Structure 1
């Protein structure tokens, strides 16, 4: 008997690389269409970008502060409604049971830019999409009489990324496999991935999707040796996020607008098992922080909180820093992409969602490419061999930063 005859072989319709929001969204969507799918993850499910995100599902208004709706904000304007439909079980990916941390977000200004915001948000372009709040409607963190700015409500939601991971993993748990680069092997051909060998099991897909975030760069390099995607390339935009563990009790989901046309600070709130809260800080603070040491970034975060919330005492708070890399298709001057990204070359598709909120848009784009490929659902795979290791779920970063399990 030959070695190939002894080797268990699986022939899924689609093999997906990457167990973050992109890969998990796609395997759920394609499974609902009847395709037999397997997914490979080298680390933990959601353990890179997904569980490091703030969980913000926004519709682009925070990018519209330059005075007009950009192509970026137009592209994502419908995303909050798509996510709400999925949470209600009315979308192609069922997110029933997903925990929503906030149904809406706030956008607040310091006193110095309040007048500019008033005229901008009163424009006909944004009427009905944003609401100016009265003082008795302010979130508790901004309710102090010393706050002199303005607060608006955005029709954007914030989801719990740990819950999101659980909802997406549960229907496809048995199809999520662990790929060990030190042991397992990939075999490329002229039209795409010929096979993946995982712990003695051979997987021969009809179509392969690269949805591995930062891992796409290495996979793309291998594919290019087989003369696939010769002009594609990846980029990584670093951020230095700050986590603040405190007992102040204020839950805030908001963007602070300063003098520029992007958020000065973005705050989301997350729970720890001991009852404390974590404020997760992004925005301009995180972008500028990549040029600082961890100690310098923490000092900058403390100074920013003291400036924006002088009535709150963060003296007993614990601070931590987390470096995050946003993996994307390469853009001129490392600019942020406007849309989800998906391209096909023969039997290979490469994807980046570019933002958590754009996962439904990525699903639409991949659906269209699968249809163009002419792929039809094949026979069920049946029970998978015991030799195939399953991928483990990741954990929110704030648990690890503050010693919670």
Structure 2
């Protein structure tokens, strides 16, 4: 059917983006800044699946240096904190000037038993000039007790407020972020890509489609595979069982505890609750091992870990909760973790995973290169019919679980 015979009420965006987490929101902002007319479709809430469940850490490769896995690809992640800072300064194509930062730095602490290993770690090229050993009077308050006998270091990695991130990325394109009902709305594929999507009776025919839906990508890939598109692309899921600790002690900690393994024993970030108390959000090895435990077992493990690492702090009156998080990634051999953001194109269809929050700018670069490869030029401005419902904003889990 030629363009001249199309129904007049059909919308023709340059690009339709699936997924309202960090990947989709970063990409629509990047594309919007380049002049492309885009729509984003979200089947639940903006940021509500993986992004608002992340710890908000914008790291420069800590885990890679810790494990000694310093490939050229993984070293590229060292640039990411500076890329985020550029966006926060308004000098990047994605504008994050309104983003709330929880901490400009992160801490790392260790006991004397791993001191020799830490010496090699700090000598790594990735961390040279980015880490500083602190004197006791500069320790974070949670580690300032005289009973603490280890060492504390400061890293120049950011921790951001993920709710603020979703708000900041949504604001410039709010009228373009649409609710997609998987029970009602339909997708129509052809050999070139997504022929059309129909939302509440409104037909939309994009020139290019981006699948950036995280955990939603597998279902979208099913349709693409039936149209013989992206047939080599598959998803893998990596579960975590996080622990949340709501307390009123006031200690704000953004830190990694380093033990004898190649993973942080515990990663702690601090987030505000509406009632003025704070939540310690616990990740690291505790969360990875937690998937093998029941909720009750994980809560017990979390209490035990805190008692072991912070015996001078009293969490007896704290409230504890767990959160199951499933991270979606491109499928890798033996389920290894991807080093970089990932994007691939087949005809007029692109699939994208940031693989980590910190790699969103890298994902933007990769997707923009693929879009430019197609020769797609920005089209005429869109008019969004008012009947198309906007996707709702997500709410952090710690606002509602206690």
Q: TM-score, normalised by structure 1?
A: 0.96
Q: Distance in 2 between matches of 1:132 and 1:400?
A: 38
Secondary structure in structure 2 of the residue aligned to 1:401: coil
Cα distance change of structure 1 residues 199 and 289 upon mapping to structure 2, 3 Å threshold: same
Cα distance change of structure 1 residues 222 and 390 upon mapping to structure 2, 3 Å threshold: same
Q: Which residue of 2 aligns with 1:64?
A: 65
> How far off its partner does 1:110 sit?
2.1
Q: Which residue of 1 aligns with 2:388?
A: 388
Q: Which residue of 1 aligns with 2:251?
A: 250
Q: Which residue of 2 aligns with 1:140?
A: 141
Moved over 4 A (4+): 4-7, 122-125
Q: Which residue of 2 aligns with 1:237?
A: 238
Secondary structure in structure 2 of the residue aligned to 1:136: helix
Q: Which residue of 1 aligns with 2:321?
A: 320
> How far off its partner does 1:75 sit?
2.4
Instruction: Report if the CA contact (8 A) 1:60-1:72 is conserved.
Output: no
Secondary structure in structure 2 of the residue aligned to 1:292: coil
Query: Within 5 A, what are the aligned runs for 1:312-391?
Result: 312-382=313-383, 384-391=384-391
Q: Distance in 2 between matches of 1:368 and 1:329?
A: 19
Secondary structure in structure 2 of the residue aligned to 1:51: helix
Query: Within 5 A, what are the aligned runs for 1:265-280?
Result: 265-280=266-281
Instruction: Report if the CA contact (8 A) 2:61-2:126 is conserved.
Output: no
Q: TM-score, normalised by structure 2?
A: 0.97
Query: Within 5 A, what are the aligned runs for 1:1-20?
Result: 8-20=9-21
Q: Distance in 2 between matches of 1:265 and 1:21?
A: 24
Q: Distance in 1 between matches of 2:239 and 2:190?
A: 33
Instruction: Report if the CA contact (8 A) 2:257-2:266 is conserved.
Output: yes
Q: Which residue of 2 aligns with 1:21?
A: 22
> 1:354-382: per-residue Cα shift (whole Å, max 9, x none)?
00000000000001000101100011112
> How far off its partner does 1:124 sit?
6.3
Q: Which residue of 2 aligns with 1:54?
A: 55
How many matched pairs? Answer: 398
Cα distance change of structure 1 residues 115 and 279 upon mapping to structure 2, 3 Å threshold: same
Q: Distance in 1 between matches of 2:124 and 2:327?
A: 33
Cα distance change of structure 1 residues 123 and 286 upon mapping to structure 2, 3 Å threshold: closer
Cα distance change of structure 1 residues 67 and 197 upon mapping to structure 2, 3 Å threshold: closer
Q: Distance in 2 between matches of 1:93 and 1:123?
A: 31
Instruction: Report if the CA contact (8 A) 2:243-2:281 is conserved.
Output: yes
Q: Distance in 1 between matches of 2:124 and 2:24?
A: 39
Instruction: Report if the CA contact (8 A) 2:132-2:153 is conserved.
Output: yes
> 1:54-112: per-residue Cα shift (whole Å, max 9, x none)?
00000002321234624453021100000001001011100011000000001111232
Over the aligned positions, Cα root-mean-square deviation in angstroms equals: 1.4
Give the unaligned 5+ runs of structure 2.
Answer: none
Q: Distance in 2 between matches of 1:364 and 1:295?
A: 43
> How far off its partner does 1:121 sit?
1.5
Q: Which residue of 1 aligns with 2:31?
A: 30
